[in-house]
Chain A
Amino acid sequence: MTVPRLAAVLLILLFGVCTYPGADLVSLAVRLTPPPAVASGAPSGSLPWLHVAHPEGGPPYIADHQGRLVLLHGAIPGGLIDYWSGTDPSRTNPPPFFPIDPAAYNGRCPNNYAVIGVPPLCQEDLAQMAALGFNSMRLPLSWSLLEPERGRFSQTYVDRVGQVVDWARALGIYVIIDMHQNAYSRYVGRAVPPPLPNGDVAQLGYNTGAPAWATLTDGLPSEVFMGQREVNPAVLEANSNFWYDRSGIQDEYIASLAFLAKRFRDDSAVAGYSINNEPWPGWNLPPGFEDLLLFPFYRRVIDALTGVRDGLPCPTHIYMPAVCGYPDLDVHDLRHLIFLDTGLLREVTDFPTHLGLPVSSYPNLVLALHAYTHVFTLDHLLHQQPEKANYPWGGFDQSYALAEREAKALNAALFVAEFGGPSSTDSLVLTNQLLEQERHRVGFAFWIWKENCGGWAMHDGVSCTPGDISPQPSSGCLRAGRERLLARVYPRESADARLSYHYDAGTGAFSLQVHGRAGDPPTVVFIPREVTGEVNASGAVDQLVTTNPDGSRLVTDSPTGGAFSITVTPAPLDVIPCV
């Protein structure tokens, strides 16, 4: 064989290693690797450690220290996100709007202003969440605030996160720390007038994520197409550069996550980390994007944070193919959950956009589904009305049934890390999403807790007159329709991971069917203050009902061996009056 031919063959083999053949083989090795010893230890503080249980033959699920299925219900506050702010759209890089120093939030709350998308997050917000029965919160952060300058991590910002975690811990609320991004960054720029034909001026109000130094747009214009903030040449280029680790920016991202994870390594109130919110492929296409770039990136983050060594050792600070693992960054966190968001395009299709190859031998993995049927799916993009939409063909269940399979293939639990939409669609969208979550026994994080001028939040917004720079309250009233739907009766913990339950937000009625063995840890059901019906139990169970000072009730059912059921009778809901 001549030298050029040998070189060509080697090049092709190398290309194979970097693409599906290599990815398949590493995934097979990951699947065959025994999981690392994960010791949760005794519960520390008020909240037990969570982990992912892997029952023989059944789907993995989030569990507590007693092995019980845990359902997390919560909302997503945006107060720690680095959103663009201001009244002058031409000013593309204003400084962070709300104070980052935790001292500004000790016993007080900074003023809110309508010039930014969301209000500040304050201690009162967590008390309000707890009052609705939320036992978790997905807390979005911004890389731009965590590492404002390359290599300089903000201890102040991490302290601010720690402050929120402290508030949450005191109320028994788990925190899912979410490395948030939308359309890559608010530093992608804004071309006026848009130089490319058919483009619109980019509105940066909801762009967030990367710091300016990590936003490599290569001079491509920032203008949006099809009204979608992500369909923007600058955003596509910046994302692509991130996935290909141009200038080592992916390494910096992993280092910033490690900096964060070191702070919370021994804190059980932090349920875990969501590595990247709604990953956008840039110029790449599925399924190669997910299988060859995104999920291998997740593997590298897991390697760095946990010290497990999946994937091959590779040079860093340069494009790392799918086969690569990552060096141990000396965090050695083997107790937190790692939430893996599916690619953003899955939200559009409600259908898997990748093969679901096993990503890591670390056992505490959670597939984080963003369920936006009729909100972001193809039918919506084609301007169909949700009631008359002819996609998804499998209805609301399509996304959930397939996600359950994706999670199982990844050896991960399933969690709805985001769902929501305009409040005008609640009777169809929210009602059916919640029904699917009950059917598939998954918890949720609702987008969004409060926002200033939109229609998606749990609360009404504030006065949004253009140019108004006067101080505002943190929100309007809690939306009664959303309180009815989201302040729910639900089983918080149960030893029966195959239980079935249903809450009817229209009547306040609830029913739960469980199988238990004598001596199993109890099933705990939360009844919010709003639900006033009578609690009944039947079957093999000893029941204890305690009423909390706020009027909510906690039902503790210890099985005595066999099937049992718990019901709450229909009764008018006592929603909070809007004053």
Chain B
Amino acid sequence: MRDRAATRALVLGLLALPFGILAPIAIWTGASSLRRIRSSNRELTGKASATVGLVAGVAAAAFFFAGAAYWWLAS
């Protein structure tokens, strides 16, 4: 059975790339989905989607907050 949060993490992670504000939710959703999948003894699937969502969320957060940090430092 597929963990529904894995798909949610993927969508949120991709949306976080243009809308950085969603990045923390993507990271949280992706991480908790991966945790559930790992502890389910292969009953739950969706590891790839959850991982991509998590990675995209981390990347979105990093680049968005790097941009915000630039604003604070350069202004």
Contact = CB atoms under 8 A, between A and B. Distances in A.
Given A12-B56, A20-B60, A355 B67 contact: yes
A15 B66 CA distance: 18
Contacts of A21: 17, 59-60, 63
Nearest to B60: A20
A405 B18 contact: no
Nearest to A356: B71
A405 B75 contact: yes
B28 interface: no
B57 to A, nearest CB: 12
Interface in B1-28: 14, 17-20
B63 A288 contact: no
A352 B68 CA distance: 11
Contacts of A285: 19
Given A20-B20, A288-B18, A355-B68, A12 B52 contact: yes
B63 to A, nearest CB: 4
B18 A409 contact: no
Given A5-B48, A285-B19, A12 B63 contact: no
Contacts of A355: 64, 67-68, 70-71
Nearest to B69: A355
A8 B74 CA distance: 36
B64 to A, nearest CB: 5
Interface string B33-75: 0000000000000001000100010011001101110110011
Given A21-B59, A24-B66, A24-B67, A406 B75 contact: yes
A409 B63 contact: no
Nearest to B19: A288
A358 B74 CA distance: 10
A418 interface: no
A505 interface: no
A355 B56 CA distance: 20
Contact of A405 (B14, B19, B71): B71
Given A15-B14, A355-B68, A24 B63 contact: yes
Contacts of B67: 20, 23-24, 27, 291, 355, 357
Contact of B70 (A12, A15, A288, A357): A357
A285 B75 CA distance: 23
Contacts of A27: 67, 70
Contacts of A565: none
A356 B56 contact: no
A355 B74 CA distance: 11
A5 B51 CA distance: 13
B70 A19 contact: no
A365 interface: no
A397 to B, nearest CB: 15
Nearest to A288: B18
Contacts of A12: 14, 52, 56
Contact of B71 (A15, A19, A409): A409
A489 to B, nearest CB: 31
A356 B69 CA distance: 10
A116 B54 CA distance: 56
Contacts of B66: 24
Contacts of B59: 16, 21
Nearest to A357: B67
Nearest to A19: B17
A481 to B, nearest CB: 36
A258 interface: no
A159 to B, nearest CB: 42
B13 to A, nearest CB: 9
Contacts of B19: 285, 288
A408 interface: yes
Given A19-B60, A20-B67, 18 more contacts: A12-B14, A15-B14, A15-B17, A16-B17, A16-B59, A20-B17, A20-B18, A20-B60, A21-B60, A21-B63, A23-B63, A23-B67, A355-B67, A355-B70, A355-B71, A356-B75, A405-B71, A409-B71
Interface of B: 14, 17-20, 48, 52, 56, 59-60, 63-64, 66-68, 70-71, 74-75
14 contacts: A8-B52, A16-B59, A19-B17, A20-B18, A20-B20, A20-B63, A20-B64, A21-B59, A24-B67, A27-B70, A291-B67, A356-B70, A357-B70, A409-B70
